[in-house]
Amino acid sequence: MISHNYIAELIRTALPNAKVQVEDPNHDGQHFTAIVVADQFEGLSMIKQHKLVYGAIQEHLDTGAIHALQLKTYSISQWEKMQVQVL
């Protein structure tokens, strides 16, 4: 079983300085949700952003250790705009 903390570390290793929050909402160690905010996403489409994150965990997806990861990804500028709208 993989922990949400381990997945967050894999993502942070692949995307240095990223802000990463990973949760295991079903508490089953296989279905995860994540929010990732990274400079590396600037100017990239959502698909390309997700590919960068999935690349960090691909080995665990291939082996079936991770069954699903629901992602929300943002560049720093996207995240800052979203925070202003929330206020």
Q: How far apart are CA 9 and CA 21, in angstroms?
A: 10
Residue pair 28/8 in contact by the 8 Å Cβ criterion: no
pTM of the model: 0.92
Dihedral sign for Cα atoms in the order 69, 71, 38, 3: negative
Q: What pLDDT does residue 84 have?
A: 73
pLDDT digits (tens, 9 = 90+) for 16-56: 999 999 999 999 999 999 999 999 999 999 999 999 999 99
- Portion of the chain with pLDDT greater than 70, in percent: 97
Q: Which domains does the chain have, with CATH numbers?
A: 4-86 (3.30.300.90)
| Average pLDDT along the chain | 94
What would the mean pLDDT of 61-87 be, rounded to a whole number?
A: 89
pLDDT at residue 85 in the model: 66
